[in-house]
Amino acid sequence: MKMHFDEKIWLTISFGIIMGFMLITGYQAFALNMGPPSHSETIDPQKVDQTAPFDEPGIKQIGENEYEVVMTLQLFNFTPMEIEVPAGATVHFTLTSKDVIHGFQVVNTNINAMVMPGHIQKISQTFDQPGEFLVICNEYCGAGHQVMSTVIKVK
């Protein structure tokens, strides 16, 4: 196969860029231990009900207009079912799954997280506007996936 000299140069540069990215990503992942934040805390998925804080899922006020929501996701619902916070509240979600991979997406916010069994997912959000925010599971998790939803009420 005959190849132009220009083509060889571009192929070499492209290959070099790809290798560079792979080396940088590999160095960050393995040498600097920079994984996704959800990987920093793990839990035994068989013992979620016995492990704090998931032994008491619910909503807790932790500051002036600041709340912590400890939530478990399971086929096919969210626990707690009802979340109600005042407008302007900052909510820190601590999530884990009791069975398979679920999604935690809050419509009209930037929250869109994958919730995996064995891992603790943390995500914070300030709800400035009152309203009802639909929460859906956006990872296909089984036959009842389409009914897996709840609502966050901001009053």
Residue ranges in contact with Cu ion by CB under 5 A: 102, 137, 141, 148
Residue 138 Cβ, how far from Cu ion at the closest point, in Å?
Answer: 8
Residue recorded with tokens 């070099």: 16
The 8 Å CB, 24+ separation contacts for 47-50 are 48/72, 48/96, 48/98, 49/98
- Cβ proximity to Cu ion, 71 vs 89, nearer residue: 71
- Cβ proximity to Cu ion, 89 vs 120, nearer residue: 120
Residue 11 Cβ, how far from Cu ion at the closest point, in Å?
Answer: 44
The three-state (H, E, C) secondary structure of 49-116, written as one string: HHCCCCCCCEEEEEECCEEEEEEEEECCEEECCEEEECCCEEEEEEEEECCCCEEEEECCCCCEEEEC
Residue 76 Cβ, how far from Cu ion at the closest point, in Å?
Answer: 6
Residue 101 Cβ, how far from Cu ion at the closest point, in Å?
Answer: 8
Cβ neighbours around 28 below 10 Å, total: 12
What order do you get walking across the sheet with 102-106 strand by strand? 82-85, 149-154, 131-136, 102-106, 112-115
- Cβ proximity to Cu ion, 83 vs 148, nearer residue: 148
- Cβ proximity to Cu ion, 67 vs 93, nearer residue: 93
Residue 143 Cβ, how far from Cu ion at the closest point, in Å?
Answer: 11
Q: Yes or no: say if 69 and 59 are a contact pair by the CB < 8 Å rule.
A: yes
- Cβ proximity to Cu ion, 67 vs 102, nearer residue: 102
